[in-house]
A = this chain, B = another copy of it.
Amino acid sequence: MAAGIAITLDELVQRFGGEVVGQGTHRVDNLAPLDKAGPTHLAFLANQKYLPQVESTHAGAVLISPVDLDKLNKRDGSNFIVTPNPYAYFARVAQAFIELAAPKAVPGVHPTAYVDPAAKVATSAVIGPHVTVEAGAVVGERVKLDAGVSVGRGVTLGDDVHLYPNVTVYHGCKLGARVIMHAGAVIGADGFGFAPDFVGEDDERTGSWVKIPQVGAVDIGEDVEIGANTTIDRGAMADTVIEANVKIDNLVQIGHNCRIGTYTVIAGCAGIAGSTNIGRHCMIGGAVGIAGHLTLADHVIVTAQSGVSKSLTKAGMYTSAFPAVPHADWNKSAALVRNLDKLRDRIKALETARGEREGDKSGGT
Chain A residues in the interface with B (C-beta under 8 A): 1-2, 85, 87-88, 90-92, 94-95, 98, 103, 110, 112, 114, 128-130, 132, 134-135, 146-148, 150, 152-153, 164-166, 168, 170, 180, 182-184, 186, 189-190, 192, 194-198, 202-203, 205, 208-213, 215, 223, 225, 227-229, 231, 233, 237, 245, 247, 249-251, 253, 255, 263, 265, 267-269, 271, 273, 280-281, 286-287, 289, 291, 298-299, 301-310, 312, 316-327, 329-334, 336-338, 340-341, 343-344, 346-347, 350-351, 353-354, 357, 365
User: How many copies of this chain does one complex carry?
Assistant: 3
Contact pick for A365, options B286, B323, B365, CB 8 Å: B365
Q: How far is the CA of A92 from the CA of B210 in the complex (A)?
A: 7
Q: Check if B88 sits within 8 Å of A195, measured CB to CB.
A: yes
Q: Check if B308 sits within 8 Å of A318, measured CB to CB.
A: no
Q: Which residues of chain B come closer than 8 Å to A326, judged between CB atoms?
A: 316-319
> Beyond A165-B168, A318-B325, A346-B351: 14 further Cβ-contacts under 8 Å?
A94-B215, A129-B132, A148-B148, A148-B150, A148-B168, A164-B189, A205-B263, A231-B250, A249-B253, A251-B253, A289-B321, A305-B307, A306-B324, A343-B347
- Please give me the residue from chain B that is nearest to A192 by CB atom: B249
Q: Check if B322 sits within 8 Å of A213, measured CB to CB.
A: no
A342 to chain B, nearest CB (A): 10
